[in-house]
Amino acid sequence: MSALRLQWKLVLAVLVFGSLTASGSAWAQTDEWSFLATPQLWFTHIEKNGFVAPSFGSAATLIRNSSGEITDANPFGARNSEPVDWGYPQWGIQLAAQKGRLTLAGAFQRVDFETRTDIISVHPTPFSSFLCQQLGPSCVNDIQPGQLLGQERLSSQRMDVDFAASYLFPDIVPGALDLSIGVGVKAIYAEATRKAENLSPALAFQSFFVPLALSPGTSGLYAVCSKDDLSNCRFKDNVHTTDWFYGLTIPTNMTVHLSGDGKWLLPLSITPFLGAETRNDHDVVYRLKQVSPTTTKADRLDGTTFAHGVTADVTLRYLITDALSVYAGGRVQYIKGHEQFLAYGPIVGMSVRFGGGR
């Protein structure tokens, strides 16, 4: 809660500072450089967290019978992945330089958020070991198909940096519609920590006893294996992921003039993204491939892959003065790399223009 209050205070401080320093000329094109500061707040609902492996890590679940045969390599699944809170404040600021129809802009954004996923059993009786049987009916009953075994909490942080150049085509429809289009680059850095909690007796047993047998001196539900044959695994109760998205953007903006005096505007912004994602799970294995009754191999879910996506904004903007405007609306963002990221929510902000020689 204190971090949430701090982010709101930072956003408000930027807004107040921008309003106090407002000076200069109007939004009209000029032959001299003018500058624009646009702080904003996007209250994001994280529908899909695409910066991490999709479900609970199952590499620790090497279920063996008394003969040492692996009876199940992936007995656990996931369902009902959702944000812990409905929305999280993603604050940011854009700084732009304009001359005539040309705009050069850079932007920065940051958000911290948490998602939670139910851990379930997907096989009838993956636990056949003697120790689990000694725990009694509670352990055996917990592992029926679809049974809730606990939750996994993911704490994520994300930072975006954008740079773009765009060119304005005014009066596509005279007095009613302007269009601008450009090209830019975008980079997203995200990191996440995942930890299992509220474990059932069966999963608590798995977390403690199986790692002791496979890697003495360790415990936890996540297997960290630098070799694909799982010959050197160690176990942890929380793990870390780092992720980069990077590529080209095509920022496109259409602005509808809603009033004759030009004070009420309806901008529609669509920014496609094409690039790549490089995710590092730091040797954590989230999925296994069984190649024989007694042998499994790691099926890695990280590395570099093609990525694409789009960000779309619809806002209502009001020009208070020649140098100051405010806006509110909504944003949706979709990105697909290794996994899908989907977020949406309301966005508010203001723009302050200064310079321009007037």
Tens-digit pLDDT profile for residues 186-199: 999 999 999 988 88
Query: What percent of the chain lies above the pLDDT cut of 90?
Result: 51
Q: Which two tokens stand for residue 28?
A: 């009209």
Going from the C-alpha of 172 to that of each of 126, 168, 254, 316, the distances in angstroms are 65, 10, 10, 19
Tens-digit pLDDT profile for residues 236-270: 888 999 999 999 999 999 999 999 888 999 999 99
Q: Which residue has the tokens 């003969």?
A: 67
The Cα 303–Cα 278 span in angstroms is 5
Provide mean pLDDT across the span 271-294.
88
The Cα 248–Cα 163 span in angstroms is 10
Residue 207 is inside which H or E element, if any? Answer: helix 201-214
CA Rg value for the chain:
26
Assess contact for 26 and 171: CB atoms under 8 A: no
Tens-digit pLDDT profile for residues 132-152: 555 555 555 556 677 787 888
Checking DSSP bridges between strand 177-197 and strand 148-173, what pairing results, if any? antiparallel
Which residue ranges form the domains of the chain, and what is each CATH number? 2-355 (2.40.128.90)
Going from the C-alpha of 123 to that of each of 59, 60, 74, 77, 142, the distances in angstroms are 16, 16, 9, 9, 11
Going from the C-alpha of 86 to that of each of 47, 114, 165, 276, 318, the distances in angstroms are 9, 10, 34, 29, 28
- Out of 154-163, 271-280, 292-301, least confident range: 292-301
**pTM of structure:** 0.82
- Predicted local confidence at residue 74, as pLDDT: 60
